[in-house]
Structure 1
Amino acid sequence: MSETEVPFRPREKLLEKQKHFQSIHKHTYLKGPMDKITSVAIPIALAASSLYLIGRGIYNMSHGIGKKE
């Protein structure tokens, strides 16, 4: 059984994509079209929400809000 495996993409498309990505002079984690969302927006949103929650917790502790009796 000497079947050759069918590639996922044609070789021409692959070479075209390689040339495209090699011509971009950005950081490697920002080269794709959706990479700004996953590499920049999500970490900023997580950091902002965690800073907000930490600040709210410190405020509540310093004013005695939300204590259990």
Structure 2
Amino acid sequence: MKDAEPMAAEEPFRHREKLLEKQKYFQHIHKHTYLKGPFDKITSVAIPLAFAVASGALIARGIYNMSHGVGKKE
């Protein structure tokens, strides 16, 4: 049998220095895990808060319309 040839090493996705820099950033920050990135406040706080406010307004409008008999479809 032939000896297996060693596989060529793949290029990494990121340079090692960049990776170590990112690791140091995420390991030394003192925030919650889901708020560590620069845009995480938008996706983890602002968007769910906007959905909650919008749904609360629609629920309040529905309760008002039902209690006053307004907005019926004929």
Note whether the superposition's TM-score is higher than 0.5: yes
Q: TM-score, normalised by structure 1?
A: 0.92
Gaps of 5+ in 1: none
Number of equivalenced pairs: 69
CA distance in 1, matches of 2:60, 2:71: 15
Q: Which has the larger radius of gyration?
A: 2
The structure with the greater share of residues assigned to helix is 1
- Structure 1 runs of 4+ aligned residues shifted over 3 Å read none
Cα offsets for 1:6-64 (capped at 9, x unmatched): 11101111011100111101000000000000000011100000000000000011111
AA aligned opposite 1:25: H
Of all paired residues, the percent bearing the same amino acid is 75
Q: TM-score, normalised by structure 2?
A: 0.86
Gaps of 5+ in 2: none
